[in-house]
């Protein structure tokens, strides 16, 4: 932990974040544009893995040709001293102008300085370059020359050269902008979304979208070219799936008949396995109508994979190889295999099924140490049959202020109705808490031994039933990390990508609205754990599944399972255990009868993964045209009202809510963006 803090403090300077200056971003973009690759035969990540046979593609990749087929010879950002003396034609946007002497021209690749000619014979060129407003598009032709000694700009990738212009053409003039296209100019997200086409010009958005494209391309190479997967498109005009309450509906031209937009290609990919297309993948658009949920999108993308004749380990090794192969070369390489925890272990140690394993602070059961405690609420808890006392040790927790600890206690009380006790077993400082003082000396030393407590550490105690106590401490663990980082410590190395498999989930959960009935913990096609098959018929709530989640830095970025390929078992689970209407799935059940191979798969959430890789604050920053959290396109004003005659072919009409007459009459009012 402690050594990580130091390295992090160094590492963070290199971290890509929206507050970086555009020069630094321009450097990063420039590296990105050279590909995740090297012009010479450098050894790639894969050679560190087990797939050394598959090196050819990546190690010999060339830099793409960015100026083929178009009216430029080079990009602005690629020019270096090696181009000195070359005649070039550049197209770009005017980033800024200095005293009518210099112009900085920008394209996706970077910035370059253009010298505005001062001589009388170049009056026409000078006029164009001096009069065009900022963000106008121009084409210039000229010679790459050295900057005069002392005027080089080492922070700029093109800082050693400039362009001596011969001709210039104004391709399009720019009107007054709603905001400046400079990364350091702050603007609200609503404004950025409304003028998304301007926001996309920022180096940050260019970096995010280009990195996304390149990572997906590498994933395709890995799946298609190296491992023989077939990229198959599945329909998005489908029908309602059982329990698919979050599916958008699409009226058809047949009265009362609706398509639905699927939440995933789950059924289709299983049917492809039955169809003998035994290694399927798709970068699949999926849809989920969740109303307003922060950091979710009504349409999203997943890397969707299914294989026949595979087991859990096979899928895990495939995905580890996939991430290793596609990982950006400007990040630390991915180390495989990823560690794995069972669902039960994850809950016990981290209080969640998606632990952030970048830092320790694990939950420890200290029931035995405190068996004879005199602290009232601990005593109460331990006297119950399932009662436990749990704790986390906050490294350097003495950096927390009194009000931090108060907010933690309040958080636990408000959200979990749970008492939490901070103690400082080794600190000289104490809070005069009578409760803390009633912990006996032998208990204190027991705790210090068990939890490896050091000077400056703080311990948070709570008590109660295992799952609840763990959940509370799991949340507090993250809260404490946030608080400590707000106080200047660095617990979560921003250059660290900590992958984790979580396995052995329960197959069923009690229904929230009716705990006597079961629902699938994930989906009804998940195969039970082979050791637990018999429990299906006796204690189904105890059956573990062959589901696996992939977690990165505390976010679930993927999930999958081995599927049921036996029609009888599938029918039993759907009809008898889940009480679903099997008619809706008759095609799938029938398919399992006709020689369905054993199969399994996984889906990775691409938006979330790219968000974590780029360090973006929101998935909206890795999507070209995202919806707002209310599901609106703030640029085009979608969704929009339609005249009733356009609904007629679909045999639907709007049921206006009683209180929305006012709203209805205001539909044609000018659009007012949400804040």
CA distance 295 to 618: 6
Look at the block and give the residue holding tokens 């989906």.
523
Among 152, 456, 556, 633, binds a copy of itself (CB under 8 A): 633
CA distance 189 to 191: 5
**Binding-site size, a copy of itself (CB under 8 A):** 147
653 binds a copy of itself (CB under 8 A): yes
Q: Smallest gap, in angstroms, from Cβ of residue 153 to a copy of itself?
A: 22
Among 93, 325, 424, 497, binds a copy of itself (CB under 8 A): 93
Q: Smallest gap, in angstroms, from Cβ of residue 505 to a copy of itself?
A: 22
623 binds a copy of itself (CB under 8 A): yes
Q: Smallest gap, in angstroms, from Cβ of residue 544 to a copy of itself?
A: 21
Instruction: Using DSSP bridges, classify how beta strands 110-115 and 102-107 pair: parallel, antiparallel or unpaired.
Output: antiparallel
Among 150, 154, 255, 515, binds a copy of itself (CB under 8 A): 255
CA distance 19 to 564: 48
57 binds a copy of itself (CB under 8 A): yes
Closest CB to a copy of itself among residues 148, 228? 228
474, 351 contact by CB (below 8 A): yes
Handedness of CA 622, 628, 633, 635 (dihedral sign): negative
Q: Taking Cα atoms as reference points, which of 605, 630, 307, 351 lies closest to residue 470?
A: 351
Among 14, 42, 314, 442, binds a copy of itself (CB under 8 A): 314
Closest CB to a copy of itself among residues 313, 430? 313
Long-range Cβ pairs for the range 237-245 (8 Å, 24+): 237/261, 238/262, 238/267, 239/584, 240/584, 241/266, 241/267, 241/584, 241/585, 242/524, 242/574, 242/580, 242/581, 242/584, 242/585, 243/519, 243/580
Please give the structure tokens belonging to residue 2: 């402690």
Among 8, 91, 336, 460, binds a copy of itself (CB under 8 A): 91
Residues 287-306 that bind a copy of itself (CB under 8 A): 287, 289, 291, 298-299, 301
Residue 283 CA from chain centroid, whole number: 15
Residues 229-248 that bind a copy of itself (CB under 8 A): 229-240, 245, 248
Among 516, 657, 662, 669, binds a copy of itself (CB under 8 A): 657
118 binds a copy of itself (CB under 8 A): no
Question: Which x/- pattern, by CB under 8 A, does the window 467-506 give for a copy of itself?
Answer: ----------------------------------------
Closest CB to a copy of itself among residues 360, 673? 673
Look at the block and give the residue holding tokens 């905001």.
179
Binding range to a copy of itself, per CB under 8 A, among 396-404, 445-453, 524-532, 660-668: 660-668
214 binds a copy of itself (CB under 8 A): yes
Residues 132-161 that bind a copy of itself (CB under 8 A): 135-137, 139
Among 7, 539, 641, 674, binds a copy of itself (CB under 8 A): 641
Q: Taking Cα atoms as reference points, which of 195, 127, 31 lies closest to residue 634?
A: 195
How many residues does this entry show for the chain?
Answer: 675
The b-or-e profile of 9-31 (16+ CB within 10 A means b, else e) is: eebeeeebeeebebbbbbbbbbe
Among 118, 146, 252, 438, binds a copy of itself (CB under 8 A): 252
308 binds a copy of itself (CB under 8 A): yes
Among 1, 12, 413, 642, binds a copy of itself (CB under 8 A): 642
């Amino acid at each position: 932990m402690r050594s990580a803090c130091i390295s992090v403090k160094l590492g963070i300077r290199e971290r890509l974040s929206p507050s970086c200056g555009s020069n630094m971003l321009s450097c990063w973009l420039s590296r990105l544009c050279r590909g995740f690759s090297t012009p010479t035969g450098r050894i790639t990540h894969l050679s560190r893995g087990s797939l050394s046979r598959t090196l050819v593609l990546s190690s010999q990749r060339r830099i793409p040709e960015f100026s083929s087929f178009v009216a430029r010879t080079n990009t602005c950002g690629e020019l270096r001293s090696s181009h000195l003396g070359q005649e070039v034609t550049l197209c770009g946007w005017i980033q800024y102008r200095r005293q009518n002497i210099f112009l900085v021209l920008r394209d996706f690749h970077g910035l370059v300085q253009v010298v505005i000619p001062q001589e009388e014979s170049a009056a026409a060129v000078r006029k164009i370059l001096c009069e065009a407003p900022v963000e106008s598009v121009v084409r210039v032709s000229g010679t790459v020359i050295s900057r005069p000694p002392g005027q080089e700009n080492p922070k700029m990738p093109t800082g050693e050269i400039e362009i001596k212009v011969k001709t210039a053409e104004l391709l399009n003039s720019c009107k007054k902008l709603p905001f400046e296209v400079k990364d350091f100019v702050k603007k609200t997200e609503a404004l950025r979304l409304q003028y998304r086409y301007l926001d996309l010009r920022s180096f940050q958005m260019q970096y995010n979208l280009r990195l996304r494209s390149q990572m997906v391309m590498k994933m395709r190479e890995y799946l298609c070219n190296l491992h023989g997967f077939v990229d198959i498109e599945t329909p998005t005009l489908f029908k309602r799936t059982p329990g698919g309450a979050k599916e958008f509906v699409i009226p058809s031209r047949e009265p009362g008949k609706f398509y639905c937009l699927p939440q995933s290609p789950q059924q289709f990919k299983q049917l492809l396995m039955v169809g003998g297309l035994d290694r399927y993948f798709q970068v699949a658009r999926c849809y989920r109508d969740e109303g307003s949920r922060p950091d979710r999108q009504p349409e999203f993308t997943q890397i969707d994979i299914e294989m026949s004749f595979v087991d859990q380990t096979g899928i895990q090794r495939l995905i580890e190889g996939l991430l290793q192969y596609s990982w950006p070369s400007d990040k630390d390489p991915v180390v495989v295999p990823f560690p794995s925890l069972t669902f039960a272990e994850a809950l016990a140690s981290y209080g969640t099924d998606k632990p952030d394993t970048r830092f320790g602070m694990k939950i420890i059961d200290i029931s035995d140490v405190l068996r004879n405690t005199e602290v009232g609420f601990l005593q109460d808890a331990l006297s119950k049959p399932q009662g436990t006392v749990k704790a986390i040790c906050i490294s350097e927790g003495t950096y927390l202020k009194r009000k931090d600890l108060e907010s933690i206690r309040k958080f636990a009380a408000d959200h979990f109705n749970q008492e939490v006790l901070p103690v400082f077993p080794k600190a000289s400082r104490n809070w005069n808490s009578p409760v803390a003082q009633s912990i006996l000396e032998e208990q204190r030393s027991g705790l210090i031994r068990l939890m490896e407590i050091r000077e400056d550490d703080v311990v948070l105690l709570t008590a109660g039933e295992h799952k609840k106590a763990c959940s509370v401490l799991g949340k507090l663990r993250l809260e404490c990390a946030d608080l400590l980082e707000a106080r200047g410590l660095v617990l979560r190395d921003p250059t660290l990508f900590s992958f984790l498999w979580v396995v052995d989930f329960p197959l069923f959960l009690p229904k929230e609205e009716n705990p006597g009935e079961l629902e699938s913990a994930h989906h009804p096609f998940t195969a039970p754990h082979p050791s637990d098959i018999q429990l299906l018929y006796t204690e189904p709530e105890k059956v573990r599944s062959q589901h696996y989640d992939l977690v990165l830095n505390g976010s679930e970025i993927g999930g999958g399972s081995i599927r049921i390929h036996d029609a009888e078992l599938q029918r039993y689970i759907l009809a008898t255990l889940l009480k679903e209407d099997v008619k809706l799935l008759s095609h799938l059940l029938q398919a399992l009868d006709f020689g369905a191979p054993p199969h399994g798969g996984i889906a990775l959430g691409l938006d979330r993964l790219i968000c974590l890789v780029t360090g973006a604050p929101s998935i909206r920053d890795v999507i070209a045209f995202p919806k707002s959290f209310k599901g609106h396109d703030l640029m085009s004003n979608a969704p929009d009202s339609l005249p009733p005659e356009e609904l007629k072919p679909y045999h639907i009409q709007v049921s206006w809510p009683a209180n929305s007459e006012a709203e209805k009459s205001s539909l044609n009012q000018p659009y007012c963006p949400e804040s």
